[in-house]
Structure 1
Amino acid sequence: MDTTKNRQRTPELRTLSEHPAGTPVRAVVLMLPGGAVTGHGRASRLAALTLHSPARRLVGAGREAGVKVVQLRYRYRGWNGDAADTLVDTLWALEELRREHGDVPVALFGNSLGGRAAFRAAGHRNVVAVTGVAPWLPTGEPVEQLAGRDVLIIHGDRDRSDAGAAESLAYAERARTVTALRRYELAGAGHFLLPRAEDAWAAATAFTLAALTRTGPADLPAEDSVAPLRTLLPVGYANGR
């Protein structure tokens, strides 16, 4: 039920990494969890927990480079049609981060519902990279805001949810006309990435950190020459990373 009290909620930013006093923040990863198509209930805690593994990877690998890892808690569980509540919260978070840290580069890291918000918010002045893991990219989503950004999509090839693989493939085909974009598929994985989640997180975090720190390209598999946007991420990719 939508109530006045619900409408007074505010989004929250949770810092996941630690930086000793006096250590400058040189870049930020903004993590955007999943949710629902519609709903004004509280944001899903389970969706937030889903990002625990990639957050841990980002915190550990990004510490020396001064990368701050932050996770957004939305006001509401759902996108909610034209209100685009998840996008509104994401843009709020980007402005809060700019106010606190200035114009440092920001990478958006979105899962499912959070993937849609990440791609929509990519035009913000501080965003340099966007990663979507099983992103919800319905027909008609704009792509022009991705120009000049590094972009990665990872999707299970058996994902037939509202955030299905077919939709992200169609989106990637359009988006590749405006920016460099890579897309990988996980053979046999559905929306929750099982049993390939760690492979997905390993590739997504490697890409994100490489895009932020400009230390060279991420060590990702070469694209399939026949179907580059359907390149398979090898089983066991996460081993040793």
Structure 2
Amino acid sequence: MFRAHRPRTPQLTPRQGDEPVSGVALLLPGGFLRSRTGPLKVAELGLRDLAAELTDRGRPHGLAVHLLRYRYSGWNGDDADTAVDTRWALDELARRYDGAPVVLIGNSLGGRAAFWCAGHPSVVGVAGIAPWLPSGDTVDQLAGRRVLIVHGTGDHSAANATQSLEYALRARRVVPDLARYEIPGGNHFLLRETGDINALTTAFTLDTLKAEPAALATGAVCTRLPARA
């Protein structure tokens, strides 16, 4: 007798705390171009410290932090499974926190999902950490949003820095409030720069949600990551 497999469903990690929610940070981990296996645990771990920093600094401002666990670890061509799951997550967050603005934070594969789904009515900002932004991806959905892109110049993966620069230059047509920081020589994983990137991304998120002001070099597409204080 064969037992039928349950269809996989996306999941949001629980939020910490029970304070009233005034804004949401949704973290979207990386993965593969094609894969039908379950979510990639190592990609989730790569965002653990960022989630902790967002939670610690955002708690006094009513920030809810969630990470999305996809059904599959791959984008999977025209199925765009990562983006489908992200749209589900945004609808679910809108149901849970009616009217709360959302900042999408995507790493690598998750970066593409974040930018694809930026047009959702809940989204006010998008941050991509070494995002996969293939040539030809649309930018019109970014209108009215704030945008941050961080990329290492030494990233020669499928999610390479050349593509994100081209995307940022096109995106400025519809979103002048855009900042792209380059890390000279940084590779795709940016392990040495994790602390600086987490600080920058947290500052961007809280500033976008009008919780804490931050001095970010908006309008720039080729600046260096600022030194951490």
Length-normalised TM-score, structure 2: 0.94
**Is 2:178–2:218's contact at 8 Å kept on the other side of the alignment?**
no
Provide the rounded CA distance (Å) in 2 between the counterparts of 1:42 and 1:148.
Answer: 34
Aligned-pair distance for 1:200?
Answer: 1.4
**Is 1:65–1:213's contact at 8 Å kept on the other side of the alignment?**
no
Question: In the alignment, which residue of structure 1 is the partner of 2:172?
Answer: 176
SS at match of 2:150: strand
Matches within 5 A, 1:77-156: 77-156=73-152
Question: In the alignment, which residue of structure 2 is the partner of 1:11?
Answer: 10
- Correspondence 1:238 to 2:228: yes
Question: In the alignment, which residue of structure 2 is the partner of 1:45?
Answer: 41
- Correspondence 1:24 to 2:4: no
- Correspondence 1:193 to 2:190: yes
What is the percentage of aligned positions where both structures have the same residue? 51
Deviations 1:103-147 (A, max 9, x none): 110100110000000000000001000000000001110000000
**5+ unaligned residues in a row in structure 1: which ranges?**
none
SS at match of 2:104: strand
**5+ unaligned residues in a row in structure 2: which ranges?**
none
Aligned-pair distance for 1:199?
Answer: 1.2
Q: Which amino acid aligns with 2:52?
A: R
SS at match of 1:37: coil
Provide the rounded CA distance (Å) in 2 between the counterparts of 1:118 and 1:223.
Answer: 19
Deviations 1:124-182 (A, max 9, x none): 00100000000000111000000000000000110010000000000000001101211
Deviations 1:11-53 (A, max 9, x none): 000024212xxx3111111110000100000110000000011
**Cα root mean square deviation, aligned:** 1.6
Provide the rounded CA distance (Å) in 2 between the counterparts of 1:59 and 1:195.
Answer: 22
- Correspondence 1:207 to 2:204: yes
Provide the rounded CA distance (Å) in 1 between the counterparts of 2:105 and 2:90.
Answer: 13
